[in-house]
Amino acid sequence: MKRRQVLAALFTAAVASGAAAQPSPAPQRYAVLSAVGDQMTVVRARTQTGSRLDRNDQEAAVLTDRALDRLVLKHVDGALKRSVPSADVAALTIASGRLLDVQRQALSRNRPSDEMARAFADVLPAGGADRLLLVIKHRAEASIPVSGGSIGFGTLEGAGFYVDRVTLLRSPDTGFIGTGFLAPFAYVRLVLADASGRVLAERIIEAAESFHMADSRTGLQPWDMMTPEDKVAALDRLLQRQIESELPRLFAATNQ
């Protein structure tokens, strides 16, 4: 073998050996925040003519135990570890105080997600995480899927229930025509940011599921068609399904 070929072979072997000896990169540390479960909103639709103003009746039930946020964090934690097996979850955090104030202001002014991401970055200890993963509220026009299309009045944000007591609908399963329906909804954003709060990617979720039409044969109204336990379970399933579907797409957008 010629000297040049010998040197080339030795060089290639040395490079390969050096590459093999390099330590594996440290797993990225994620701080995860949920800011959607401070309250559950019940939106009671009211028909309106000739106006785009949101005239729905809205009731906000404050969730002092933040059980909804804990469910969100559980689903995000599981989906994150499946999407990025090497991820190190450094913190699972429920937003409160200033962070909730920042979110309220951002929603009222239609501000971008960067404000919330930067506010979260500011309260984390220096070096506490490499990436921030946020689940925050999103506000948009109500769009509730029904057989043959979608309907809705006003705007929705966060997580809760949309109650319609006036629309005539036919059940695709039974053919029964009922007045009104109940729909759990999740209008949220999944936001991935770096440690400084610079947004790398986000996914907008506008999800709802219409079911439990009012039944004139029983006299029950839409809101009464489900027990409190069933309502919690329905909202939990909707959030879990959307988080598990959209989180991989969030990471795919940045190859994180």
Range scoring the smallest mean pLDDT among 7-21, 34-48, 206-220, 225-239: 7-21
Predicted confidence (pLDDT) per residue in 115-147, tens digit: 999 999 999 988 889 999 999 999 999 998 887
pLDDT-derived band at 4 (thresholds 50, 70, 90) equals very low
3 in a structural domain: no
17 in a structural domain: no
165: Cα within 13 Å, side-chain hemisphere: 14
146 in a structural domain: yes
61: Cα within 13 Å, side-chain hemisphere: 13
118: Cα within 13 Å, side-chain hemisphere: 8
Give the 3-state secondary structure of residue 79. Answer: helix
20 in a structural domain: no
Q: How far apart are CA 147 and CA 139, in angstroms?
A: 24
- Among 3-7, 117-121, 179-183, 251-255, the range with the most confident prediction by mean pLDDT is 117-121
Predicted confidence (pLDDT) per residue in 10-50, tens digit: 334 444 544 455 555 667 999 999 999 998 889 988 765 54
Give the chain's domain count.
Answer: 1
9 in a structural domain: no
Residue 219 has pLDDT above 70, yes or no: no
Residues spanned by the domain of 119: 25-252
2 in a structural domain: no
Beta strands in 99-233 (DSSP E): 131-137, 139-141, 144-146, 149-151, 155-170, 177-194, 199-208
pLDDT-derived band at 148 (thresholds 50, 70, 90) equals confident
15 in a structural domain: no
Give the 3-state secondary structure of residue 21. Answer: helix
Q: Which tokens belong to 215?
A: 């039944």
Q: Could you write out the DSSP letters of every residue in 221-237?
A: -GGGGS-HHHHHHHHHH
12 in a structural domain: no
